[in-house]
C-alpha cells in the first residue's frame, strides 16, 4: 500500500444517527463490509481516506451533527430523494440483482422504474465522487448497488484508478441472461470501467469472464479483458475477518459472563445459528432438518436446544416479511410438536445481538449450523471458528457458500437435503473432542493466515499494480 488517497464507495456509511429524549448520538453499524474497510492498514503518511455512501439521515441532521462523527475517515453522504432511493435499493438492487445473483429467479420483481432509479442513484454518487477526485486517488467501489459506477466515473475521469469488489456471488451466464439484453450490457459495461474487478471465489470470477464474452463479445487473456477503451484485470480475493478480534474476545469478562449465563440456562447440547433475515440464508431448510432429526431420533428430545437468531433486514420488501412469517410458523409448529411442559427445542430471537452476546453464543454452542442456500462468502462461519479458543465445537456448513472453499474441515452439507443435514447434526452431536480439535485447529490456521486486513491490503496492492502496468504500458 502506498500514499495515494483512498476513496471508498459503499451503499451504507458505517454509522447512522439516533435521537432519544431529544439527544442525538452516533450509532456505529456493524457487518462484514464495514469491518473490512475499517481494518485497512494505511501508512501513517497516507492522507485521510474518504468514504462516500448513501445517507439514511437528512441533510439537516448531517449539518447539525456531523461533528459527532470523528474518526480516521472523512465521510461524504449522498442524499437521494425517497422515491429514487426506494426504487434503487428496495427495487433494482434488492428485488432484481440480489435474487438473480443468488439463483432465486422466481423472486425477481423487474420494473423499468427500478432500473431508472438505479441509474439515477449511480449517477448521483458518480457526480459526488467526481467532485472529490484528485489525480492520484484510488477509487474502491463496493458491491452490487454500484455495478455501473466504474464506467460512469471513467467516462468523466478517463485516467482514474478504479477498483471494484463484489461481495455476493456472480451467477452463471444462464442466470444473468434472464435480464433484458440492454440492461445486462449496461451492467457488464459498467464494471469494465474498473482497472480491477475482484470476487470472493474463482467460480464467480469465471462466471463474470464468461458473461462478458457471451454478452459483449470481449474475451480475456489470463483473466484480463482488453476492450478498445479499457483494460480490466480480474482477481480472486476471499474476504477474511478480524481474526484476533473474535479470538481474543472469547476471554473478555463480559463474554465470559454471558457464556456462563447461557450454559446455565441451556445445560444440554446447544445448536446455534445467526443470519440476517433473508431467503438466501436457508433458515426454513435448517428448521426442516431439525424436525427430521427429532422425528428420527426422539432420544434427543429434551437433550438439545437450537438457538436461532435472525437479524432484521430489508423488512419493507414483501419476500422478506413473508419469510419472517414462514420462519415463525415453522418455529411454532416444531416447538408445538416436540416441546414438553418443561422444554422447547427452539429458542427464537428476531433482533440484533451485541458483539459480546454474539461471541458468547459462538463460544457456548456445541454446533454452529450455517446452511445458506447461496452466500457470497459467509463471515459468520469464519467468526465462529475464530472465536473458539478452546478448539471445540463443530461447524456444519453449506457447500453453497464461498466460505466452504476455505473451510473443508467443516461438515459440509447440501442445505436442501434435510436428511443429510439431520444426519450430519447427529454426527456432530456425538463427535469426540479430539476430532473436534483436529478439525478446528486446521480451520483456524487457515483463516488466521488470511484475515481481513490482508484481504484489503491485497486488493489495494493489486489495484496499484494495474495502475503501474498501465503507466509503463505493460500487459498485466
Q: Please report whether residue 276 would count as binding ligand ADQ according to CB under 6 A.
A: yes
In angstroms, the CA 185 to CA 218 distance is: 12
Q: Is 420 exposed, middle or buried (0-12, 13-18, 19+ CB in 10 A)?
A: middle
Q: Please report whether residue 160 would count as binding ligand ADQ according to CB under 6 A.
A: no
Selected binder of ligand ADQ within 380, 395, 407, 425 (CB under 6 A): 380
- Scanning 29-37, 121-129, 215-223, 404-412 for contacts with ligand ADQ by CB under 6 A, the matching segment is 29-37
C-alpha angle with apex 8: 239 to 404, nearest 5 degrees?
Answer: 10
Q: Which helix (H) or strand (E) holds 366?
A: none
Q: x/- string (CB under 6 A) for ligand ADQ, residues 290-329?
A: -------------------x-x------------------
Nearer to ligand ADQ, 157 or 457 (CB): 457
Q: Please report whether residue 30 would count as binding ligand ADQ according to CB under 6 A.
A: yes
Among 328, 245, 313, which Cα is nearest to 275's?
313
Q: Which long-range contacts (CB under 8 A, 24 or more apart) does 331-338 make?
A: 331/287, 334/287, 334/290, 334/291, 334/294, 337/291, 337/294, 338/294, 338/301
> Residue holding cell 438466501?
280
Query: Cβ of residue 401: shortest distance to ligand ADQ, in angstroms?
Result: 7
The three cell numbers locating residue 333: 409448529
Selected binder of ligand ADQ within 87, 171, 376, 393 (CB under 6 A): 376
- Scanning 129-137, 319-327, 373-381, 405-413 for contacts with ligand ADQ by CB under 6 A, the matching segment is 373-381
Contact partners, residue 66, CB within 8 Å, separation at least 6: 75
Query: Cβ of residue 142: shortest distance to ligand ADQ, in angstroms?
Result: 9
In angstroms, the CA 188 to CA 343 distance is: 53
Query: Cβ of residue 228: shortest distance to ligand ADQ, in angstroms?
Result: 33
What is Dmax (Cα atoms) for the chain? 75
Query: Cβ of residue 13: shortest distance to ligand ADQ, in angstroms?
Result: 16
Selected binder of ligand ADQ within 137, 258, 291, 383 (CB under 6 A): 383
In angstroms, the CA 131 to CA 124 distance is: 11
The three cell numbers locating residue 358: 454474539
Number of residues that bind ligand ADQ (CB under 6 A): 21
Please answer whether residues 350 and 336 qualify as being in contact, where contact means their C-beta atoms are separated by less than 8 angstroms: no
Q: Please report whether residue 32 would count as binding ligand ADQ according to CB under 6 A.
A: yes
Q: Please report whether residue 52 would count as binding ligand ADQ according to CB under 6 A.
A: no
Q: Please report whether residue 349 would count as binding ligand ADQ according to CB under 6 A.
A: no
Selected binder of ligand ADQ within 5, 12, 38, 167 (CB under 6 A): 167
Selected binder of ligand ADQ within 189, 378, 387, 444 (CB under 6 A): 378
Nearer to ligand ADQ, 6 or 308 (CB): 308
Q: Which residues bind ligand ADQ (CB under 6 A)?
A: 30-33, 167-168, 239, 274, 276, 309, 311, 352-353, 358, 375-380, 383
Amino acid at each position: 500500500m502506498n500514499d495515494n488517497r483512498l476513496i471508498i464507495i459503499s451503499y451504507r456509511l458505517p454509522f447512522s444517527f439516533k435521537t432519544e429524549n431529544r439527544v442525538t448520538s452516533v450509532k456505529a453499524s456493524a457487518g462484514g463490509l464495514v469491518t473490512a474497510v475499517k481494518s485497512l492498514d494505511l501508512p501513517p503518511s497516507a492522507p485521510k481516506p474518504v468514504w462516500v455512501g448513501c445517507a439514511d439521515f437528512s441533510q439537516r441532521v448531517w449539518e447539525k451533527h456531523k461533528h459527532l462523527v470523528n474518526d480516521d475517515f472523512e465521510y461524504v453522504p449522498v442524499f437521494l430523494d425517497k422515491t429514487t432511493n426506494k426504487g434503487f435499493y428496495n427495487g433494482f438492487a434488492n428485488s432484481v440483482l440480489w435474487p438473480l445473483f443468488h439463483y432465486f429467479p422466481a423472486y425477481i420483481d423487474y420494473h423499468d422504474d427500478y432500473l431508472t432509479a438505479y441509474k439515477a442513484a449511480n449517477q448521483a454518487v458518480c457526480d459526488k465522487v467526481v467532485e472529490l477526485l484528485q489525480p492520484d486517488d484510488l477509487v474502491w467501489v463496493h458491491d452490487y448497488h454500484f455495478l455501473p459506477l466504474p464506467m460512469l466515473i471513467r467516462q468523466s475521469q478517463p485516467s482514474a484508478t478504479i477498483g471494484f469488489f463484489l461481495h455476493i456471488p456472480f451467477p452463471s451466464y444462464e442466470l444473468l441472461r434472464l435480464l433484458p439484453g440492454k440492461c445486462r450490457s449496461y451492467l457488464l459495461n459498467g464494471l469494465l470501467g474498473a482497472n480491477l474487478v475482484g470476487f470472493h471465489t474463482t467460480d464467480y470470477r469465471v462466471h463474470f469472464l464468461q458473461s462478458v464474452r457471451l454478452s459483449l463479445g470481449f474475451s480475456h487473456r489470463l483473466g484480463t479483458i482488453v476492450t478498445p477503451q479499457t483494460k480490466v484485470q480480474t482477481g480472486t480475493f476471499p474476504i477474511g475477518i478480524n481474526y484476533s478480534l473474535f479470538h481474543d474476545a472469547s476471554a473478555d469478562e463480559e463474554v465470559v459472563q454471558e457464556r456462563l449465563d447461557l450454559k446455565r440456562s441451556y445445560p444440554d447440547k446447544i445448536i446455534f445459528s445467526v443470519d440476517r433475515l433473508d431467503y438466501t440464508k436457508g433458515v426454513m431448510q435448517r428448521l426442516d432438518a431439525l424436525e427430521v432429526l427429532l422425528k428420527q431420533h426422539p432420544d434427543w428430545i429434551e437433550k438439545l436446544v437450537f438457538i436461532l437468531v435472525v437479524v432484521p433486514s430489508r423488512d419493507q420488501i414483501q419476500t422478506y416479511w413473508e419469510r419472517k412469517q414462514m420462519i415463525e410458523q415453522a418455529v411454532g409448529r416444531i416447538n408445538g410438536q416436540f416441546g414438553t411442559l418443561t422444554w422447547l427445542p427452539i429458542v427464537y430471537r428476531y433482533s440484533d445481538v451485541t458483539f459480546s452476546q454474539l461471541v458468547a453464543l459462538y463460544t457456548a454452542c456445541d454446533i454452529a449450523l450455517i446452511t445458506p442456500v447461496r452466500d457470497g462468502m459467509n463471515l459468520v462461519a469464519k467468526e465462529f471458528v475464530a472465536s473458539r479458543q478452546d478448539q471445540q465445537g463443530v461447524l456444519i456448513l453449506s457447500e453453497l457458500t464461498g466460505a466452504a472453499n476455505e473451510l473443508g474441515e467443516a461438515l459440509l452439507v447440501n442445505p436442501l437435503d434435510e436428511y443429510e443435514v439431520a444426519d450430519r447434526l447427529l454426527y456432530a452431536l456425538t463427535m469426540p473432542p479430539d476430532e473436534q480439535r483436529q478439525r478446528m485447529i486446521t480451520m483456524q490456521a487457515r483463516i488466521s493466515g488470511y484475515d481481513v486486513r490482508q484481504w484489503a491490503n491485497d486488493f489495494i496492492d493489486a489495484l496499484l499494480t494495474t495502475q503501474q502496468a498501465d503507466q509503463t504500458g505493460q500487459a498485466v
